[in-house]
Structure 1
Amino acid sequence: MARPRVVQPLLLISAAIMAVSGTGGSLARFAYIRQEPEWPPEIAGSVHDASWPDFLEFMTRNNITWLARSGGHGYSPTLRTIQNAVMVNMENFRYASINSDLSVSIGSGATFQDMIDAVGGAGRELRATGASLGGGVGRLQGKYGITSDSIRRVRMALWNGTIVEASDDINQDLFWGVRGAGQNFGIVIETTFETYPASDGGMHYNVDMTFSGESLETVIDTINSLIPDMDPALAIITLFTIDADSLEAIVALGLVYAGSEVGGRRYAQLFAPFSRTFNESLIPWVDLPSQSAGGGVAANCQTGLRHNMYSLASRDLPTSTYREIYDSFSELIVAYPGLNRSIVLIETFGQEGVSALPNDYSAFPHRGEIHNLVVLEMVYTDDTVADVADDFAHGWRDVLAQPENSGYDRLVVYQNYGHDDEPLSALYGYDEWRHERLSSLKRSYDPKGHFNGYHAIPIDSADWS
């Protein structure tokens, strides 16, 4: 199929943006979306806050679709619904600044590293990632809750160009919805987060270990023993990964403790006797994203790779099932070496900070249901293995979703890790009151469905799956 290509709208959009752009202020840049691995060259034009109404009115009047792009991170296949569109590149909103109350205001073009450099430089830390609109899980959630729990204010452009703020004091309904379903309502321009005093002088205990496949059951059993009352400062990332030279499947485990070295080593020693390699260190909080878990998670964020990801939340990690997955994964890579950068990822984070807030605190629906996040991420460059990769990840996701494996009677999926085949209730919650509240917000803030590219909330609450 020939890629979509429309030349004239590009020229019209460029001219319109140039006409409404003033000088000064934060700028957004625009590019035309094509279905290609690399983003195309950007076209001329810019817009600042005062110009959003003109720009979005022009787009709406000419029935032109758009998509805002921040750091470029997002795997959801639902994005394929956006075709022949204009990309709003937010890179000129790239800033992170500490406020007088030690909160941090982050422009939507800022990278995660921009944020942690600013916060860490102020002797603070923050449970935050670019995934805050879907909730934001991570290593510090046991202490501070998920990312979106730390949001204190957002500034957004709505479909008609109106600039609004949302917080506990204004547009409280939108503020509720942005924290867990935020991709559905507008273009976020700026987010202000609460920050927290740095743990142990900003240093975190980190240990990276590898294990042979024979130790898999012991690794899983040890993790299971920690889950019921998991220390809020403890975070564990487990990977089934591949040695690139031998194509041997191995188990890699990254343990981070946001507390004293003595406290972290106490947990590391539970795994040490049967580890094949054991590398411990103290890492500044600002370096955790690039250095923890052996840098393996960060390495998969490089551009130019195909990613196909299925996931689910799981209360339990039954050892016999994960043995089957591990063996199946090993066999897959032997048969299809082009998939050797693929991983099976298990994120096990503390729950205390997440469960400290009531279930209706925000649109994030999974408090008490995210003990483990399991991700089957197929990574490749050769599309001839695409179908095989999809069959493996999809099939095992369905196996893991069975109640005897997940511990839940229904599929539970963290929205940022969603594919496109789950019922929406798996992402946004099964309670009817959630459906009604989210659909009401959609009708109020995006009545024409301009922000339907990322797990779209239906306008009518009767259309929930």
Structure 2
Amino acid sequence: MAQPFELCIQGQVRYANKHGIPFYAVNTGHGSTTSQTRFDGIQIDLSILPSGENLPRGQTAWIQGGSTVEVTVDELWGQGYVTTTGGAGCPGILGVGLGGGHGLLQGFHGLVSDNFVAFNMVLANGRAITVSESFYSDLFWAMRGAGHSFGIVTSAEMRVYPRSDRDWSFKLYIWTQDNIEPVLGELIRMREDGEPRDLAFNFGSYALYPGLGTSEIRQPYLPHLPRPSPLSEAQPYLAPFYAIPALITQNGSAPYNLIPRVTGAGADSPQCERGRTYMHYSSYLQEWNVTAQRTIYNLFAENIATNPTAFARAAVLMGDYKHDAVAQVDAASSAYPWRDRRLLKYTYPPLSVSEDRKLTENVSNVVINYTPDPSLDDFALTWARRTKELWDGGQPGIPGAYYVNYAAGDESPESVYGYEPWRMQRLRALKVKYDPFGRFSYYNPIPIRRGR
């Protein structure tokens, strides 16, 4: 039986269809693709849905459509469980998961989308259905990687895992820009020597660090060690980084549920602030070209210097995720297309990496954010687009690939949803079947021929 909030959403969708009004469901509003700017109609606010999680069998939880990452993590943690989520606390967990969903646990349990068991959802015609491997299995395939284009999810059943009460450890370095090459050189050697067993996530950025004035700095290494182990166990592969003089180093540890907050990604962190303009592009990298990385930094520094006050919070972000469990999932089993886009090797110096060491996945993202000022928009957009071009140019012969959750909105559908011809054919056919009039066409839409 449909719940009251599902009936409400059904009513809104049917009303909008009857009167020819576009509709669009949002949760916390963290989608940043420019395709959203074409929307003008009824906004359906999912954040009003209950956020409580239910554990009927101790193996799965029902996550409500209004739940954020931080709320989900905290409520499951309190019941003795964890599940795969995004790394930042503020986005809605279903918005993250419908596009795949990268996070700290993906190397152990897969993407967020790999852990969906079922969806309660409202279709474009206002009909409420439950989707799983057993019911509407074709739609279940699409929802895991391209779900924003097929329906409004009111709740989802996800696999959960017993939590570990032992803390995670992390290490933070802040280096000046002249250490980009040495730091990346050590990262190369660390990967060549073998993937550290306990490294879940390696985060780097070009950013201005608070308290250091306008000095351009490099924050390229933030490992989280998810095994219940002290930081001392990481010394064999962290030791070379101690030899590179850093402005700041910081050791820390915390329970898994608090790691985003203590590392600056909690729901109240600056990156979750509303009311700012965001210009951004991203790229999955098959190879991380250090020459390109230096050029990207130089562009960052030059553009920051034009207006250091306005662009003080601009950043180039580089996330290197553990990939083991993601790679073990059959690539054809869901609409998520980029299981092969793992960090295979760094290209400086040229080193070969054996197949069994291809265990990380690199997602890079440039975010130019500032207090709204239309006079800065063209400059910031050009800056962000040029950064993406430099990333893509650093891996010649490999088509650009873009994470749907970070897509800017002007990428080709194939570069977002996969280059294999069968993927787009299948997605288009499902779009015609479940949304023939293209009602869900405001989040990196899948193009179809509109029905009459």
TM-score class normalised by the smaller sequence:
0.7 to 0.9
Whether 2:141 is the aligned partner of 1:154: answer: no
2:152 maps to which residue? Answer: 187
Whether 2:63 is the aligned partner of 1:96: answer: no
1:386 maps to which residue? Answer: 377
What does the per-residue CA deviation read over 1:232-289, in whole Å, with 9 as the maximum and x for residues that have no partner?
Answer: 6421110110135521111113211111224444443342322322211111111122
Whether 2:410 is the aligned partner of 1:443: answer: no
Gaps of 5+ in 1: 1-23, 28-47
What does the per-residue CA deviation read over 1:278-324, in whole Å, with 9 as the maximum and x for residues that have no partner?
Answer: 21111111112222258699421111111111010112222222112
Describe the shift of the 1:241–1:386 C-alpha distance in structure 2 as closer, same or farther (beyond 3 A). Answer: same
Whether 2:223 is the aligned partner of 1:255: answer: yes
> How many residues align structurally?
414
The 2-side partners of 1:230 and 1:165 are apart by 40
Which residue of 97, 100, 105 maps to 1:135? 100
Shift of 1:204: 1.0
Contact 1:134 1:181 in 2 (8 A): yes
Whether 2:162 is the aligned partner of 1:197: answer: yes
The 2-side partners of 1:449 and 1:248 are apart by 48
SS at match of 1:87: strand
Shift of 1:76: 0.7
Contact 1:351 1:368 in 2 (8 A): no
With normalisation by structure 1, the TM-score equals 0.84
Describe the shift of the 1:207–1:386 C-alpha distance in structure 2 as closer, same or farther (beyond 3 A). Answer: same
Which residue of 386, 391, 399 maps to 1:395? 386
Whether 2:192 is the aligned partner of 1:222: answer: no
Contact 2:331 2:337 in 1 (8 A): yes
Shift of 1:52: 4.1
Aligned-pair Cα RMSD in Å: 2.2
In the alignment, residue 187 of structure 2 is paired with which amino acid? I
Describe the shift of the 1:294–1:79 C-alpha distance in structure 2 as closer, same or farther (beyond 3 A). Answer: closer
What does the per-residue CA deviation read over 1:312-369, in whole Å, with 9 as the maximum and x for residues that have no partner?
Answer: 0112222222112112211211112211110000000111111001110100000020
Q: Which moved more, 1:340-349 or 1:264-273?
A: 264-273
Whether 2:173 is the aligned partner of 1:209: answer: yes
The 2-side partners of 1:345 and 1:415 are apart by 16
Contact 2:6 2:154 in 1 (8 A): no
Whether 2:406 is the aligned partner of 1:420: answer: no
Whether 2:337 is the aligned partner of 1:369: answer: no
In the alignment, residue 346 of structure 1 is paired with which amino acid? M
Shift of 1:109: 0.8
What does the per-residue CA deviation read over 1:424-443, in whole Å, with 9 as the maximum and x for residues that have no partner?
Answer: 10110011110111011101
Describe the shift of the 1:272–1:193 C-alpha distance in structure 2 as closer, same or farther (beyond 3 A). Answer: farther
In the alignment, residue 430 of structure 1 is paired with which amino acid? Y
1:401-416 alignment to 2 at 5 Å? 401-402=392-393, 405-406=394-395, 409-416=398-405
SS at match of 2:446: coil
In the alignment, residue 280 of structure 2 is paired with which amino acid? M
2:73 maps to which residue? Answer: 116
1:169 maps to which residue? Answer: 134
Describe the shift of the 1:88–1:177 C-alpha distance in structure 2 as closer, same or farther (beyond 3 A). Answer: same
1:64-103 alignment to 2 at 5 Å? 64-83=21-40, 85-102=41-58, 103=60
Describe the shift of the 1:104–1:227 C-alpha distance in structure 2 as closer, same or farther (beyond 3 A). Answer: farther
Whether 2:243 is the aligned partner of 1:273: answer: yes
Describe the shift of the 1:305–1:177 C-alpha distance in structure 2 as closer, same or farther (beyond 3 A). Answer: same
Contact 1:308 1:377 in 2 (8 A): yes
1:13 maps to which residue? Answer: none
In the alignment, residue 391 of structure 1 is paired with which amino acid? T
Gaps of 5+ in 2: 87-92, 343-360
2:351 maps to which residue? Answer: none
1:4 maps to which residue? Answer: none
Describe the shift of the 1:295–1:96 C-alpha distance in structure 2 as closer, same or farther (beyond 3 A). Answer: closer
Contact 1:205 1:257 in 2 (8 A): yes
The 2-side partners of 1:270 and 1:195 are apart by 37
1:107 maps to which residue? Answer: 64
Describe the shift of the 1:413–1:216 C-alpha distance in structure 2 as closer, same or farther (beyond 3 A). Answer: same
1:349 maps to which residue? Answer: 321
The 2-side partners of 1:357 and 1:389 are apart by 38
Q: Which moved more, 1:58-67 or 1:116-125?
A: 116-125
Describe the shift of the 1:269–1:294 C-alpha distance in structure 2 as closer, same or farther (beyond 3 A). Answer: farther
The 2-side partners of 1:415 and 1:319 are apart by 25
With normalisation by structure 2, the TM-score equals 0.86
The 1-side partners of 2:162 and 2:443 are apart by 34
Shift of 1:82: 0.4
Shift of 1:423: 1.0
What does the per-residue CA deviation read over 1:101-133, in whole Å, with 9 as the maximum and x for residues that have no partner?
Answer: 222211111111110011111222221132101
SS at match of 1:97: coil
Contact 2:196 2:237 in 1 (8 A): no
Contact 1:205 1:264 in 2 (8 A): no
Contact 1:333 1:340 in 2 (8 A): yes
The 1-side partners of 2:382 and 2:197 are apart by 36
